[in-house]
Each structure stands twice: as structure tokens, then as C-alpha cells.
């Protein structure tokens, strides 16, 4: 009997030390989980604060539709379809300038090598049709080139010589 009492007391003390270790592991895991969660909440809060500092609303014209960026000059170009102009945004100080273009500008592209900006204007048939406006990025001066595409469709031959044979 004596050995069974000793064995049982040894088992009891071993059980207590094992449960103590398990309890410490659970506490450590819970503490680690809490610290991770706190760090994530803090990081999200800092990220949102940073984004609030980075975000800025810049006014443009009516119905902005196309955007192009010249990474060399750090300028952003926004076509304003219903205003018939392009808003030029300085990427450094967020100042803006407005450049008049053709009717209903819809698409825009930048050539950073020549610092030329190309704007596709949808136009109206009764007001000259589609056109392309080329903006000189250094001076914001423009040249508009009318498209003959609509005129070509209006005078397109009804049949070609190959179709007649």
C-alpha cells in the first residue's frame, strides 16, 4: 500500500506541474494573440492616419473621364467631358490649370519624352466631328487637328472595283 500512496502522490505532483506548464503556455499564447491584435489595430490606425494625410480632393471640370500621368514632369492630366477641357494637376503642390480642348474629350495619352499630351475629342457631327488636341506640356498651349474620318465615311464608295467584277 505504501508504494501505491507514494505513486499516487508522485502522479499528483506530476499532474500539477504539467498543468502548471500548460497553463503558462496558454497564458503565453493568449498574451501573444493579444499583442498581435493590438499591433494590428495600431498599424491600421497609423495607416489610416497616413492615408488621411495623403488623400486630397482636387477639383476638376464637369464629368472627369480620362486620366494620364507624366512621370517625368510629375503632372496629372484629367479630361473633363462636359467642360470640354483638361485639368492639369501639378503633382508636387496640387495646383491646377485648365486647358481648353475640343468637344467631349474622352481619352488622353502622354508622351513623356516629347512632353506632349494627346486628347481624343468625340465631338459632334454638326460641329466638325471628332478631333485630336495636342497639348504642349511645357506651356499648356494647344493645337487641335480635325479628323476626316466622318467625312470619309460620308463619301465612302458604294462599291470597289474588286466588287464590280
| Residue range 109-164, pLDDT digits in tens | 999 999 999 999 888 766 667 888 999 999 999 998 876 654 444 444 555 455 44
Predicted TM-score of the model (pTM): 0.59
Beta bridge partners of 18: none
d(CA 12, CA 19): 11
Given a cut of 50, whether residue 3 has pLDDT beyond it is no
Phi, psi of 62 (to 5 degrees): -85, 130
Report, as an integer, the average pLDDT of 88-98.
Answer: 92
Tens digit of pLDDT for each residue in 31-89? 777 677 766 666 666 555 565 666 678 888 888 888 999 999 999 999 999 999 999 99
Say what the pLDDT of residue 131 is.
86
Beta bridge partners of 136: 116, 141
Say what the pLDDT of residue 51 is.
58
The answer to whether the beta carbons of residues 66 and 118 sit under 8 Å apart is no
C-alpha cell at 82: 462636359
C-alpha cell at 16: 500539477
- Taking the C-alpha atoms of 96, 97, 100 and 105 in order, what is their torsion angle to the nearest 10 degrees? -20
Identify the weakest region by mean pLDDT among 8-12, 39-43, 103-107, 122-126: 8-12
d(CA 119, CA 102): 8
Say what the pLDDT of residue 122 is.
86
Longest dimension (CA), the chain: 120
Amino acid at each position: 500500500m505504501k508504494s501505491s500512496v507514494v505513486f499516487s502522490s508522485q502522479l499528483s505532483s506530476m499532474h500539477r506541474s504539467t498543468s502548471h506548464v500548460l497553463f503558462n503556455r496558454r497564458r503565453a499564447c493568449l498574451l501573444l494573440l493579444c499583442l498581435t491584435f493590438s499591433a494590428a489595430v495600431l498599424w491600421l490606425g497609423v495607416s489610416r492616419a497616413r492615408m488621411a494625410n495623403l488623400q486630397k480632393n482636387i477639383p476638376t471640370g464637369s464629368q472627369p473621364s480620362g486620366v494620364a500621368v507624366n512621370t517625368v514632369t510629375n503632372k496629372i492630366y484629367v479630361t473633363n467631358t462636359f467642360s470640354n477641357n483638361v485639368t492639369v494637376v501639378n503633382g508636387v503642390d496640387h495646383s491646377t490649370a485648365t486647358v481648353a480642348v475640343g468637344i467631349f474629350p474622352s481619352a488622353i495619352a502622354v508622351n513623356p519624352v516629347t512632353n506632349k499630351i494627346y486628347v481624343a475629342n468625340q465631338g459632334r457631327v454638326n460641329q466638325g466631328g471628332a478631333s485630336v488636341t495636342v497639348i504642349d506640356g511645357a506651356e499648356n498651349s494647344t493645337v487641335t487637328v480635325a479628323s476626316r474620318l466622318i467625312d470619309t465615311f460620308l463619301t465612302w464608295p458604294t462599291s470597289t472595283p474588286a466588287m464590280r467584277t
